[in-house]
Structures are given as C-alpha cells and as structure tokens.
Structure 1
Amino acid sequence: MIPLVSIAIVTYNQKIYLKECIESILDQDYSNIEIIVADDGSTDGTHEMLHDYDQKHPGLFVLHLAVKNLGITKNHNVAHFSCNGTYIAWIGGDDLMLPGKISKQVAFMEANPECTLLYHNLDVFYSDGNQDSYLLNSKKNAKEGDIKTMIKYGSFNGGCSTMLRRSRAPQYGFDERLPIASDWMYWVDALGNGGEIRYLDEVLGRYRRHANNVTSQNNYNGYIDHLNSCNILLTKYPYLQKIILYRYSENLRALRYKEKANYLNWLKASFRVGLNNKSLVALLLYFFSFKKISK
C-alpha cells in the first residue's frame, strides 16, 4: 500500500483563495491522503465552505475550526499534531498545488530514505495581476544539505513546496515562543533529528503574493522571531555556534532595511555578532554613501 500523506492546510480569512487551494489538492493523482485544515477563527464564511467539502468527501477532511484566533504558530501546531501520515505536505490556504506534486515527492522520498525534507520549485504570482510572476528557485541556485545548510541560509525552501518525513518532525511541533515565523526552526529541528534537505527541480506549486502576506510589520516581526530562533538554537546546538552566529549576523544586517531609522545601529550590531564580508562591505557603503542610503 502506498504511504499516507497528510496535507496540512493552515488558513485564516482566505475563503476567496481557499476553494482554489482545495481543488488543486483534490486534483492530485495520489489517492492515499488526508486533508488537515486548521482554520484560525475565520469570519468570512470559511467554516461553512469547509463543512460543505467535508460532506461531499466523507472521511477525507479533518477540520479544526477555531472559535477565536490562536495566532500563526499555535494554529500550525493544531495542524501538525493532527497529522498521521508517513509524510506531511504543508500549504497555506492561499497557495496552490500543481498536478503530480504529491506523487512525485513521495516517489523521491521513498527512493531516498536519508531525505528528511524535500522541496521543489515554485511559481510566485501576484493576485492583483499587476506584477509578473517569477520562479523561486532553479537547479543552479537550489540548496541541499544537512542542518548546517538550513541554519546558514535560513528558510530558503518555501513552506508550501516542502514535504517532511514525519518520523523526523520536531517532537514539540512549532516552537510557540516564536509567534509568527516559527517555520525556520521547525525545519532546522527536523534536520537536527537526522537526514538531509533535498531539491526536486520541477515547478510543482504556486505561491500567491497579496497584501495580507507581504505587510512590512509582519516582515519585521518575522525577523525578530528569526533572531530569537538563533538564541534558542545556540542552547540546543552549541556545537554549531559559529554558523548560528553567522545567521544571526545576517538577520541583523537585513533589519537595516526594515527599520531605516536605525540603519547604522542594525549594521553595527551585525558586524559585532559576526565578522563577515557582507557586513563589512555594507558598513563601508554606508559611510561612503550616507546621504544616498538614508533617503
């Protein structure tokens, strides 16, 4: 019998996109699936729509419909702890699967038992249609490796492209000390349980960009969560201190664009935490181009 795959959908007030997401899952050519939906207290009619799907497909859906908002990380944990499959395929309620995604990922995972995480290329598109779509990865820039690779480069895989071998998932799920951007540490800890992250060079999903998932405040808070993740990882994996501090420095350097009033302070902090060429060049550019940068 083919392995069970848990498809975990996390959603909040995305009814206008969620139907398309679910239909893309139902169109998959892989039969042994369960669809876990964790809805974070939507008020847009999502619950009624999900009940309709559940009635049309008895036994396929596992619905968790929160009465009040739990927050991003807690809602992810609702989905995580409901998964029973050999593999977990994560997807946001506004994203799409392309034909053959699940079957191709399962085939790869079954053939490569050392593979803990498997991601593929994504078509990134804009809901308003005002900007051209683009591909997230390519064979040339795709990254593969172990826990060190995931720490060094951050969350490069794209959540809705990633399939996880559940036997290596973090025992605690997503760390609830990180209210928004807990996915990176989830991937790191999965690799901390052994195995590798591998790349499948096919476009098997579509990631939707829209106003609600590109807000500057969410991006800023996400960077803060990543800094806190580094602090937590230092206690979990002290033997990886050097590479964790490198990631910490990179996150601090990135914050200079999110909070321009403290541009120089974030840059200095990055330089103090980890001496690397990128921070040095950015610091020199700041002093030689101060007026241009500070506009």
Structure 2
Amino acid sequence: MTNNSYPLVSVAIITYNQKEYLRECIESILLQNYPNLQIVVADDCSSDGTQDLLLRYSQQYPNVFTLKLSEKNLGITANSNLAHFACRGKYIFWMGGDDLMLPGKIAKQVEYMENNPDCTLCYHNLDVFDSATKKNLYYFNHLKKQKINGTIREIIRFRTFNGACSTVVRKDKTPKEGFNELIPVASDWLYWVDTLANGGNIKYIDEVLGKYRRHDNNITKKTKCLSQADIDHLNTCNIIIGKYPQYISEALYAYAEILFHLRKKLDYKKIVCFSLGANFRIRKAIALGVFLLSFGIIKV
C-alpha cells in the first residue's frame, strides 16, 4: 500500500520554550505507524533553542515538517492560528510541545474517522503523568460521565472534556477564521464549538492513546487566583450566546459550572462582573440562568 492510500494527516504542535520536552514529543509522532504525515510546528519566539532544534528536524525530514517560527511573541491563540492555517491534511491532530503520542494513535483515530463520516471530532483517554517522576497521576477521562459522545450541545454544556492532545478534527469542518483571537489563551473550547457548528458528531475511543505531561508551566495548572484561562472560559460563554443563541441553555449551564468551580478564587466577584460586561440582554439572560441553574447558590 502506498502513502497515497492513506489520507494526509496534519499534526499541529504548539510550542513555546519547550526544548527539554519537544524532542520526545516529536519522536513519539515520527514513531507512529502512519506513513502520510505533515508535522506543523508553530513556535512563539522561543529563547531556549527550540527553533534550532526544529530547524534540524526540518533538514532531516524536509517533506514532513512545516515550520512557523515567529520572530516576536504572538501569544497562544495567534500562534495556534499559524499552525491551523498551515495544515494541509484531511485531519488535524492537535498537540502541545510537551505532549506525547502512544503507538498506534494516529492510525486508530484515522481508521475510526474514515469508517464514521458523521464524526467531526474524535478523542480518547490520556495518561496524565508527572514530568519529574514519570509516574501516572490519573487518567483524563477516568469518570464515566467524562466519556461523552454527542454533538455541539455536549461540547458547549460540558466544555473541554476532551483533552486537546487527544483530539482529531476534520479540517473541512474547522472554522474558516481559525481560532478566535478575542480569546487569547484558552481558545480551544470555542474552536471545538465552532468546528461542530459546521456539522457532525463527537466520538470517544475508550483507550489511552496519549500522554499529557504535568509540570509547573502548564497553562491549566490550578491556582488560587483567577487566571487568563478562567477569564477566557467566561468570555467564551458570552461569545457562544451571541453567536449561537439556539444553544443558550447549554451555554448558561456551562457558565454556572464555571462560576461554581471559581467560587473560592480571591477575586471571584470582580471577575463575575467583568465577564457579564456584554450587552444588556445577554447580561440579564446570563444572570437569570446562572441563578436558576445554581439553585440560587450563585448570586449575580
């Protein structure tokens, strides 16, 4: 079977100062039993030698690598768009520069997508491990309620139950504008929503096919103060309500869940007021929905 018998797959890697992890990430992709790959790496002006490492890989595999090496720092979402628009494959697999693929991941997900044309987004379980000890901390989708199949309604209501590095999407379903740069950091949730707005379903493969590394520099690490990612998630709810009003109940449910999990953050009340800074109708709808969905626990 020739390479042309396999649909082209684009693996999009987003990286910034991750040289110590990036080689392992890339090697886990190159070792996949899938012959028709484009590896797109968008580096956001790293200062640790990441770009030199990438140039060496590109020289070694000139027909595989597509590099987008920024000369100034753009931020996570803008950097992600560099990768998004460089992808040529039928399918796009998303990775951070510190994530790992396990053997057979690409072939298994592509086979599933090819056999299920109604599937727009496919994801799987992840081994979440400690970077220093290499020991498993937990599995990303360890609870039954996190193993979700569905449509755009589920991705809005339950947010990022799919780990980004477990996810593959059909390129022809992705938003023409790419990632929404109004959301500077945690823009993947809205990207999944916009992708599923173009049709198709979400499918879960109940296998561990990748590894997510936990270390001090993770964007998603827990803090006692509100992070930019927290603000992004709240603002994403506002964008969804304005853009997809037919899913307002799902967005309000997500909004209430976010606020509930943020209730112990120090500047909680301030961020609630900030996140409600939409137009009057949306603000009133969100306030009422949050109050009702939280059974009056959340006062807005």
Same fold flag (TM > 0.5): yes
1:161 matched to 2:166? The reply is yes
Pairwise CA distance, 1:91: 0.3
Aligned to 1:85: 89
**Counting helix residues as a fraction of each chain, which structure ranks higher?**
1
Partner Cα distance (1:30, 1:62) in 2:
17
Partner Cα distance (1:165, 1:152) in 2:
21
Partner Cα distance (1:235, 1:260) in 2:
26
Partner Cα distance (1:57, 1:132) in 2:
32
Aligned partners of 1:40 and 1:70 also within 8 Å: yes
Aligned residues: percent identity? Answer: 52
Deviations 1:120-176 (A, max 9, x none): 000001112287421111483301100000011011100000000111001111000
* Secondary structure, counterpart of 2:264 in structure 1: helix
Partner Cα distance (1:255, 1:65) in 2:
36
2:201 equivalent among 184, 187, 196: 196
Partner Cα distance (1:261, 1:134) in 2:
28
Pairwise CA distance, 1:253: 1.9
* Secondary structure, counterpart of 1:88 in structure 2: strand
Q: Considering only aligned residues, what root-mean-square deviation do their CA atoms show, in Å?
A: 2.4
Pairwise CA distance, 1:111: 0.3
Aligned to 1:148: 153
1:4 equivalent among 4, 8, 15: 8
1:51 matched to 2:55? The reply is yes
- Structure 1: 5+ residue stretches without partners: 285-295
Aligned to 1:29: 33
1:136 equivalent among 121, 137, 140: 140
Partner Cα distance (1:83, 1:149) in 2:
26
CA shift in 2, pair 1:25/1:65, >3 Å = same
Partner Cα distance (2:122, 2:226) in 1:
25
* Secondary structure, counterpart of 1:223 in structure 2: helix
1:257 equivalent among 264, 267, 278: 264
Pairwise CA distance, 1:65: 0.7
Aligned partners of 1:36 and 1:63 also within 8 Å: yes
* Secondary structure, counterpart of 2:86 in structure 1: coil
Q: TM-score, normalised by structure 1?
A: 0.89
Q: Superposition pairs for residues 1-295 of structure 1, below 5 Å?
A: 1-129=5-133, 132-138=136-142, 140-141=144-145, 142-213=147-218, 214=221, 216=223, 220-259=227-266, 262=269, 272-276=288-292, 279-280=294-295
Aligned partners of 1:122 and 1:204 also within 8 Å: yes
Aligned partners of 2:226 and 2:266 also within 8 Å: no
Partner Cα distance (2:109, 2:202) in 1:
12
Deviations 1:37-71 (A, max 9, x none): 00000000011111111111121100111111100
Partner Cα distance (1:99, 1:115) in 2:
22
CA shift in 2, pair 1:75/1:29, >3 Å = same
Code of the aligned partner of 1:15: K
Pairwise CA distance, 1:248: 1.5
* Secondary structure, counterpart of 2:227 in structure 1: helix
* Secondary structure, counterpart of 1:23 in structure 2: helix
Pairwise CA distance, 1:234: 1.1
Aligned partners of 2:141 and 2:161 also within 8 Å: no
Partner Cα distance (2:235, 2:229) in 1:
10
Partner Cα distance (1:29, 1:219) in 2:
42
Aligned to 1:292: none
Code of the aligned partner of 1:123: D
Pairwise CA distance, 1:211: 0.4
Q: Which moved more, 1:109-118 or 1:124-133?
A: 124-133
Partner Cα distance (2:102, 2:178) in 1:
27
Aligned partners of 1:138 and 1:201 also within 8 Å: no
- Structure 2: 5+ residue stretches without partners: 277-285
